[in-house]
Structure 1
Amino acid sequence: MYIHWTHHYLPKTFGILSFIANPIFIYLIVTEQKSSSIGKYRFLLLFFAIFDMTYSAVELLAPVGIHGTGSAFVVCLTDGPFYGKENLRLGQIAVSIRCGCISLSYGILVIHFIYRYIALFHPKLVSRIFQPGGMACIIVFFLIHGIVWSSICEIFLYGDDEMRDYIQDAFQKDYGVDSYEIAFLGALYMEGSEEVKERSWAGILILTGVSTYAVSLYIVLGYKIMRHLRNNPALSVNTQNMHRQLFRALSVQTFIPICISFSPCMVAWYGPVLGLDLGMWNNYLGVIALSAFPFMDPLAIVFLLPGYRNRILRVVPKPRIRITTIYTKSTQRGATTVTYH
């Protein structure tokens, strides 16, 4: 299912770049000589990098397209090993898992915010986090986000014959495909049967609640962390600087998914409700943005944490400077010229 060259190539490009940027990030973490400056927090950063590559792998295996038509929202499989009429059920599961990765990105950010909060307000508990019991809780908490999101998609947003009939003309016109031959998830808000409308609204509202809970938690914990850093003279200057650097990186990490995950999802979900006929524009505004997350995420951390940024910059060759002084006979004053090599 071909939509546009940007939709076809840019997500794949971001996926490849993710498999370049994240291993470099992992190398910086593992080989950092002053790892004590961030302590065991580096384990969470490693977890983040591994998740980013997993996110990209799922995206490459299950590429999706987003379409809004009439009063319906649809996210469908466009390519990959699960695409095709013979794989409709498996393809729908692949789309659900692909969508669940969005919630996993929310979950892992919540974990980072909770860790920063504990490190500042309850530092004695930090050591317990990285014990087997603590790590097990982190993994379970993280996985629950993806399982809940994917389950909601499967229970409430599955594509049935009524939805296939509703989107058939639009998909035949815009993409040249039969809606009965593609795997998709969707919501039909106003023009379907009562059963379809009720489960569509239920699914979208639950997903909205999950997204809103995560973003609200970022804001609440972020405010508490900033306030604590500003009004706590007991912390040493070095400790405050370290926490500020880590929190600055985490803030940018949060800004990225809000802009390229949360916002595109809200526009795609509620555009049809508001009468916005975005059509294929959802693919340019949403799908491409969602694919950029696992590549941009490690870049934000590397260039916001001075230790990692300086190591990267040391690898980049600096221009050599040659200084030459030229004397004149009349004044014997030197004129200095600078040459860059």
Structure 2
Amino acid sequence: MAHCRRLHNSLFENFKAMSWLGIVTHNGIFAVALLFNSVALYLIVTRSRKEIGSYKYLLIAFLCTDTVFSLVHWLCRPVLSFRDGFFVSYGEGLVDAAFAMTLYGASGSLSFPLLACHFLYRALVVSMSKRPALQQLFRSKLLAAAIAALLVMDGATWIFFNYQLRLDPNDAAIRAKIVATHPELKNRTEMIAIVPFMDGKLNAKVARNALPLLAIATSSFVIIVLCAWRITNALYVRSSMSVALRNMHRRMFLALIVQMLVPSLTMFAPSVTAISLPFLPMASLDLPDWVIGLCYSLYPLLDPIVITLCIRDYRVGLLQLLRIRRTIKVLVAQSISSDHRASGHEQ
């Protein structure tokens, strides 16, 4: 009971500190993202044809991580600030501990290897178009287990290194540097800080823990580029498959390219910028505190829209759902109208 009361008080104080616009934006984006991801998951589970194969497991994994990321974002209400050549992130929501911010970063980082898996899957399927036995093996549920293992490994790696970047309360020099540009953080101890240079010297601890995170994102990008080249070469240059099969793979590849734009623009680019830019000695770019956070919050909202609209089965399924609801509204309106007419005749 006491725990519930503390949570209620925290929620009340949190909302009281926010403007009405902040409340509407923060909670509205979360609610819409949750709705869109739920609808997309429903469509993938119920509308996936056999030809989709194990690709649906990748889509389900993507949407599940979107949902988790959106939930953690809502709980933490993170502030991600880049000023005076260093990066600071902290939470202003119900949960503001440094470990919660670490989980926030880890849940967002899962989009990188998952996106690489999407391209790797498409490249392998195109390569195995004439090998039904291998294709059948690849479409088995072992893929789901492989995806789960990848997510666990990536998440654990990100949590380990990201948590090492939390601000040490006893490090007076770094704290003084942060407070000099962030006076509002004078009394805050729970935060993630990437301050790679102190007095012109490289901070070895920060480099040791931040660069592996950058390596994860970079390696995922390299895999995406190599797989995209392989797919393009197979479908547009040296294609020996049937016209119908080639056209199907081309549609899926183009849909994947469009799908890649959302995490690339809202997650990959801001994350790589936030991690790598502080290591550039001449970096003096100051970004408004809301820019990176807004990009992150839009990612789980836009991703299910792209997935639903780019794949025909789900697009048709969505239209059918909307038509059902429209039909129900029409039937209800007709029923109400007939009731009114009947009551008028009785009078």
Question: TM > 0.5 between the two?
Answer: yes
Q: Alpha-carbon deviation of 1:220?
A: 1.1
2:176 aligned with 1:168: no
**Structure 1 counterpart of 2:178, which letter?**
I
1:114 to 116, 120, 125: 120
Report the identity percentage.
22
1:144 matched residue in structure 2: 153
Aligned Cα root-mean-square deviation (Å): 2.7
2:263 matched residue in structure 1: 257
TM-score, scaled to structure 2: 0.77
1:125 to 131, 134, 143: 134
1:58 matched residue in structure 2: 72
**Structure 1 counterpart of 2:253, which letter?**
F
TM-score, scaled to structure 1: 0.78
Distance 2:214 2:283 in 1: 19
Contiguous gaps of at least 5 residues in structure 2: 1-13, 328-347
Distance 1:52 1:153 in 2: 20
Distance 1:42 1:312 in 2: 16
Q: Alpha-carbon deviation of 1:23?
A: 1.5
Q: How does 1:200-239 map to 2 (within 5 A)?
A: 200-239=206-245
1:236-278 deviations in Å (ceiling 9; x for gaps): 2332222222222221222211111121123333445433241
2:32 aligned with 1:17: yes
Q: Alpha-carbon deviation of 1:134?
A: 4.1
The size of the alignment, in residue pairs, is 301
- Structure 1 counterpart SS, 2:197: coil
- Structure 2 counterpart SS, 1:67: strand
**Structure 1 counterpart of 2:74, which letter?**
L
Contiguous gaps of at least 5 residues in structure 1: 84-90, 319-341
The answer to whether the 8 A contact 1:67-1:74 is kept is yes
Q: How does 1:1-341 map to 2 (within 5 A)?
A: 9-32=24-47, 35-80=49-94, 82-83=95-96, 91-123=97-129, 124-131=133-140, 133-155=142-164, 157-160=165-168, 161-162=171-172, 163-172=174-183, 176-178=184-186, 180-191=187-198, 197-272=203-278, 273=280, 274-279=282-287, 281=288, 283-314=289-320, 315=322
**Structure 2 counterpart of 1:57, which letter?**
L
Q: Which has the higher helix share?
A: 2
2:342 matched residue in structure 1: none
Residues 19/234 of structure 1: CA separation in 2 closer, same or farther (3 Å cut): same
